[in-house]
Amino acid sequence: MTKGITPHGGRLINRILQGEERQEALEKSKGVKHIELTPWEISDLEMIAVGACSPLEGFMCKKDFEPVVDTMRLSNGLPWSLPVVLSAREGEAKSFKEGEYIALEDSTHTVLALLQLEEKYCYDKEKTALEVYGTLEDKHPGVKRLYESGEILLGGNISVVNRPKHIDFLKYRMDPSETRELFHKKGWKRVVGFQTRNPVHRAHEYIQKCALEVVDGLLLHPLVGETKGDDIPAHVRMRCYEVLLEKYYPKDRVVLSVFPASMRYAGPREAIFHALVRKNYGCTHFIVGRDHAGVGSYYGSFDAHYIFDEFEPEEIGIAPLFFDYTFYCKECFGMASYKTCPHDSSNHVSLSGTELRRQLSEGKIPPPSFTRTEIAQILSEYYHGEEAGGGESARGKTSRQSSIPKS
């Protein structure tokens, strides 16, 4: 039985086959056409399979894709802000027939799942780019990927026979059913989720601890799927989180678990997506900071706050916690925001992932007002070509347990 907050759409989806059903599907995969998935598509496949993308049971058909692009809703009216699709080149798609099965495989030709092809359809890439990402420029990483994808979309339910294999962060990989069970065991009824693709700096720490004042526990849920090239690698970020939680957070009130999704950089729309997905993981609240899931100057600083006004709270079903622009104030001698600090901006030290990367790339050690000394040391070692070592996440050798703030 699903514990805690109701998953999006009413139930937690599970598309992973077991036992005899799995064996039958594996046999069936030998006699059908195959298609190789990209790393992005593999992460989406896994998210669908374990229920993180509930209520989706497969890659979107046209009846869901079009209203999601146009109105941020599925065909049944349920809020959903981003397309989750599988693309193919036109020549490749010609050999696929609707109603048949297609084996979905990774780069090693291991079959991951069967797709029961319900529909193959064309779509307008420029319209999709403009509606979803707010721009037609291929300098935007999400738009660039969209333009490079296939011309045909393949829709239909999936049945997973082999989960994608991971050799990293094994200790921290928990499915929605597992995080829900863990929260239940801890007695947490109010859980706040935090999405990040950056090392946690003092602004992140400040808003997380503010949120901890009003909930039972925090799910620190860093994204470890594909990101753009200049983002700090996931294994370095994870080492930072380990050190931070070990020294500066109450151990009984925080769960660190990785989020297997790839980064879309869709700004406001991705904020909605991140919130809905964290509801499926069992969170009742979700932190939305400045320029959530943004990139460059494509989105306004608080567009990710305003977009929630387009839905009724009960439709989203998870409570967003909005945080203003936060900074270190030299006069306050601590973290503050424009809501709490009376001092002139000349006293404010701006904190963001972009600024952090800039300082490190220039050989500077970020000051304690920016990030904890231990975190600065790990990041400095990385930027000077030394491996961030010493933690389980860096080595990737632990065993799996059980079966800006720019966020």
| Residues marked as catalytic | 197-198
**Cβ–Cβ contacts within 10 Å for residue 390, how many?**
12
The CA radius of gyration of the chain, in Å to the nearest whole number, is: 21
Residue 342, class by beta-carbon neighbours within 10 Å (0-12 exposed, 13-18 middle, 19+ buried)?
Answer: exposed
**Dihedral (C-alpha) 197, 191, 284, 204: value to the nearest 10 degrees?**
-30
List all residues 6 or more positions away from 342 whose beta carbon is below 8 Å from its beta carbon: none
Residue 337: φ, ψ to 5°: -140, 175
Phi, psi of 133 (to 5 degrees): -105, -10
Nearest partner of 117 among 142, 92, 81, judged by Cα? 92
Pair 121, 145: CB distance under 8 Å: no
- Candidates 43, 41, 98, 66; CA nearest to 258 is 43
CA 211, chain centre distance (Å): 20
Q: Which amino acid is at 379?
A: L
